[in-house]
Structure 1
Amino acid sequence: MNSVFFPLSKAIYFLITPSNALIFTALAGLLLLSATRLRRTGIGLAALGTIGLAVGGLAPLSEALLLPLEQRFPAYPTDGAAPAGIIVLGGGIEAGLSEARAQVVVNDAGERPIYLADLARRFPAARLVFSGGSGFIGGGIAEADIVSRQADAIGVPRTRLILENRSRNTHENADFSAALVLPKPGERWLLVTSAWHMPRAVGCFRQAGFTVDAFPVDYRTRGWGDLTRFNGFASDGLLQLDLAVKEWIGLVVYRWAGYTPDWFPAPEPTEGKASR
């Protein structure tokens, strides 16, 4: 099923990404307005697309969608007990650019590899897993391979790294990582990924039988006060809106596909006790 799921998810999301969908709507309206007699329909679609782009880009709509995701799992305490292992999910490194330029090129989720180095220093006895293949249809260099080549630049001892370079999505991150490290009952593992992605990621690891404690990074919101702030640039708001909608759709699709055990995974009571 996953062989079909991966390319299909990419194609569908391209069409329903809010910024894309609103642009297509506005263009369809202009086409109807100029080339057909459906003037009222054309005006309505053009107006809908244009207003949608303005609201989605400037209003705090993206913050309203991101905040429940980012607030779902609390930050890991600074005095938390030493874990047996740490798993960092890919997504923070531009693998193609890094390969072309022979150096580490990070994106908006660059905190993921940054905290890989930080946690490696803080917990010198912990096993270090980086899980990230190529997220492109047709393949490409795996993100884990870039981490292997550039471990010194990132600040991670190469000899400590356990690399999982086959996964193309979060479901595969969890399954392949579990099969690679074979966690023992009672072991404590930290999962490092973006705060807005943590609910779906934790759900996937639970479904794979891998108990993890959340270590969220890469926050896009400051808190509930962001609901009163408007964006200075529409491009920023639309970027965040696309991200938030993708993640909410991902939660629904992953639950439907059986990749997560819950619609909106939350911390388990034992996780909260262990973190205190």
Structure 2
Amino acid sequence: MFYFLSKVLFYVLMPLSITLLVLVWAMLTKNIKRKNKLLKIGVIMVVLFGNDFIVNEGFLLWEIPPTSPESITEIYDVGIILTGGMISNKEGTPQEIFVDKTADRFIQPLRLYKQGKIKKILITGGNTDLTVIRNDVSDENLKTAQLLEELGVKKSDLILETKARNTRENAIYTAEILQKNPQLGKKYLLFTSAFHQRRSIGCFEKAGLSVTPFSTAFKSKARTFTFNSLIIPSEAGYYEGYHLIHEVIGYCVYKVLGYC
């Protein structure tokens, strides 16, 4: 029940949903003062939520900063990859793999593996979405493993966890695997999107695993002070703002429930 409600809550509390509710309320109300006030609020929300500069500043504050591969001077036993958005759900043959927007989650551990800084790679995550809302890639875990193997990772160095549906379960089921197999070692690098690292680190620590974060798939960019980024709202700003607010809400909910 929590899984279902949390997913629905995230969609309801997003910038576009809230803005639409305000504007619809403005259209339906017969009180002229309230209508004018709601319309002003709606316009302000459009400008703020769609402001590229403001959204980017939010990501710069929230994301865990990058780690330079050169700064990693010790060998880690396992690199843990959290699935989600790495593989596109475009239909294809078993041999066709189309990477998606967070492919950096497996590209960075692949680089470190090739450099001899990671011994094994554990990929955690099953189907993470409600199919009534959005179709997820049910075999993202397997497809990612297939791709990594084709790119040079030994099959014996790949570990798959396929049950987890959310970050908390990623941590719990990964901890079960690692604790049952002490021969895998105790030094772990955690790979997920930079804006998702805070919640991920908290969940893994709650599950009893000490992990070192390695942020990937950054949404923040270098600051720009152009007219477009400072003044003109954009669809991209709205889209990225959705992810930022979604993650902040998710982190707060997990904190309240004691998951991280």
TM-score range, shorter chain: 0.7 to 0.9
Distance of aligned partners of 1:116 and 1:38 in 2 relative to their CA distance in 1, 3 Å threshold: same
Deviations 1:63-112 (A, max 9, x none): 23212222x45525424111011101111324533667863333322211
Query: Which amino acid in structure 1 is aligned with residue 17 of structure 2?
Result: N
SS of equivalent to 1:162:
strand
Q: Which runs of 5+ in 2 are unaligned?
A: none
Query: Which amino acid in structure 2 is aligned with residue 195 of structure 1?
Result: A
Q: Mapping of 1:111-190 within 5 angstroms? A: 111-123=104-116, 126-137=119-130, 141-152=138-149, 156-182=153-179, 184=182, 187-190=186-189
With structure 2 as the length reference, what TM-score do the two structures score? 0.84
Tell me the matched-pair count. Answer: 251
Contact 2:48 2:233 in 1 (8 A): no
SS of equivalent to 2:200:
helix
1:247 aligns with 2:239: no
Contact 1:113 1:154 in 2 (8 A): no
Contact 1:197 1:247 in 2 (8 A): yes
What's the % identity of the aligned pairs?
25
Q: Which residue of the partner structure matches residue 53 of structure 1?
A: 46
Distance of aligned partners of 1:9 and 1:226 in 2 relative to their CA distance in 1, 3 Å threshold: farther
Per the TM alignment, residue 176 of structure 1 is displaced from its structure 2 partner at its CA by 0.7
Query: Which amino acid in structure 2 is aligned with residue 144 of structure 1?
Result: N
With structure 1 as the length reference, what TM-score do the two structures score? 0.80
Query: Which amino acid in structure 2 is aligned with residue 17 of structure 1?
Result: M
Among candidates 69, 73, 92, match of residue 85 of structure 2: 92
Q: Mapping of 1:186-265 within 5 angstroms? A: 187-222=186-221, 225=223, 229-230=229-230, 234-260=234-260
Distance of aligned partners of 1:60 and 1:42 in 2 relative to their CA distance in 1, 3 Å threshold: same
In 2: Cα distance, 1:194 partner to 1:178 partner: 20
In 2: Cα distance, 1:106 partner to 1:196 partner: 20
Per the TM alignment, residue 232 of structure 1 is displaced from its structure 2 partner at its CA by 6.7
